[in-house]
């Protein structure tokens, strides 16, 4: 049944979501204007830390233009290895405090962080219906060793979808992928032609590609503006057969399609 009716909007053969993490200034300065000019919408995963009402105010306009403001937790907790590396990178910075690690956190603490981040994002952009989640540092656990546990069930409970990381070039199967841990592809430093090829391979299979970006022309995981532009122009030209939409929008579409195909 699932295979007989396309999950995608009329004429489209597959889907692509453009996702951007950590709310960097280059996303506001370069990515949002590019997407707006081409009529595309992306998902921007934000950390609504204290003072978010002012710091994240520019994202209200982005949301009004149809982009998704996604949940990336308040505190962006990562594994001890990531946190130690970040502290070494910032050595010498005044006031650089060591962050709490995933190994030190409990499920209750993680749930409180996720719920609070969604509450803050909703207060910033109340018109947004659903919120998807992106696992900080692509990690989905708390604790260590024998007490290590997945926090994917918390994301399933509180967000419409969760973006993790998966293997290229296997894109998400619309009928069977776990929406609480959708596979994203890390795209830092990729060339435009590679990005177009990845998107095209997903669409050729009728699947959903979720591309992960951070800073544009800057930061430790950069994508070049020229390469991002090449991808976005391709997506705009192919809009009749490639559905480009925010993660939450695609998740809503798939949930409705699965419901229709497999009524309870």
Which residue number has the CB closest to Zn ion?
Answer: 21
Chain residues 135-154 in contact with Zn ion, contact rule CB under 5 A: 136
For Zn ion, which is the closer residue by CB, 21 or 68?
Answer: 21
Q: Which stretch binds Zn ion (CB under 5 A): 14-22, 93-101, 114-122, 253-261?
A: 14-22
For Zn ion, which is the closer residue by CB, 81 or 262?
Answer: 81
If you ran DSSP here, which 8-state letter would residue 127 be given? Answer: T
Cα separation, 158 vs 78, in Å, equals 20
Beta bridge partners of 6: none
- Shortest approach of Zn ion to residue 199 CB, angstroms? 22
- Shortest approach of Zn ion to residue 134 CB, angstroms? 7
- Shortest approach of Zn ion to residue 158 CB, angstroms? 18
Counting Cβ atoms within 10 Å, is residue 194 exposed (0-12), middle (13-18) or buried (19+)?
Answer: middle
**3-class secondary-structure state, position 246:** coil
Single out the residue of 246, 243, 257 nearest to residue 175, CA to CA: 257
User: Element (H or E) spanning 18, and its range?
Assistant: strand 14-21
The answer to whether 22 contacts Zn ion (rule: CB under 5 A) is yes
| Residue 122 CB neighbours (<10 A) | 15
For Zn ion, which is the closer residue by CB, 99 or 233?
Answer: 99
Q: Which stretch binds Zn ion (CB under 5 A): 51-59, 129-137, 202-210, 228-236?
A: 129-137
The answer to whether 68 contacts Zn ion (rule: CB under 5 A) is no
Cα separation, 34 vs 57, in Å, equals 20
Q: What does the block give as tokens for 236?
A: 């705009």
Can you tell me which of 8, 20, 21, 238 binds Zn ion, judged by CB under 5 A?
Answer: 21
- Shortest approach of Zn ion to residue 137 CB, angstroms? 7
Alpha-helical regions (H) of 105-224: 107-124, 152-158, 192-204
Q: Which stretch binds Zn ion (CB under 5 A): 15-23, 102-110, 174-182, 225-233?
A: 15-23
The answer to whether 113 contacts Zn ion (rule: CB under 5 A) is no
- Shortest approach of Zn ion to residue 102 CB, angstroms? 13
- Shortest approach of Zn ion to residue 152 CB, angstroms? 17
| Residue 192 CB neighbours (<10 A) | 18
Q: Which stretch binds Zn ion (CB under 5 A): 131-139, 149-157, 221-229, 241-249?
A: 131-139
Are 213 and 188 in contact by the 8 Å Cβ rule? The answer is: yes
Are 117 and 48 in contact by the 8 Å Cβ rule? The answer is: yes
For Zn ion, which is the closer residue by CB, 138 or 257?
Answer: 138
Give the interface size with Zn ion as a residue count (CB under 5 A): 3
Binding site for Zn ion (CB under 5 A): 21-22, 136
């Amino acid at each position: 049944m699932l295979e007989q009716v396309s999950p995608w909007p009329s004429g489209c053969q597959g889907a692509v979501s453009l996702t951007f993490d950590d709310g960097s200034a280059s996303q506001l300065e370069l990515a949002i204007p590019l997407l707006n000019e081409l009529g595309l919408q992306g998902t921007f995963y934000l950390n609504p830390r204290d003072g978010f009402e002012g710091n994240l105010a520019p994202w209200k306009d982005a949301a009004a233009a149809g982009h998704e403001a996604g949940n990336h937790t308040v505190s962006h907790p990562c594994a001890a290895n990531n946190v130690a590396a970040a502290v070494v990178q910032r050595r010498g910075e005044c006031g650089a405090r060591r962050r709490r690690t995933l190994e030190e956190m409990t499920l209750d603490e993680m749930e409180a962080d996720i719920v609070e981040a969604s509450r803050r994002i909703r207060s910033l952009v109340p018109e947004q219906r659903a919120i998807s989640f992106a696992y900080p540092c692509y990690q989905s656990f708390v604790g260590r060793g024998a007490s290590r546990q997945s926090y994917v069930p918390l994301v399933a409970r509180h967000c419409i979808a969760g973006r993790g990381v998966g293997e290229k070039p296997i894109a998400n199967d619309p009928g069977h992928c776990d929406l609480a841990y959708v596979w994203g592809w890390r795209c830092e430093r990729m060339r435009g032609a590679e990005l177009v090829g990845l998107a095209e391979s997903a669409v050729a299979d009728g699947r959903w590609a979720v591309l992960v970006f951070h800073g544009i022309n800057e930061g430790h995981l950069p994508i070049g503006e020229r390469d991002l532009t090449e991808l976005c122009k391709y997506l705009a030209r192919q809009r009749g057969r490639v559905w480009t939409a925010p993660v939450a929008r695609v998740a809503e579409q798939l949930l409705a399609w699965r419901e229709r195909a497999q009524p309870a």
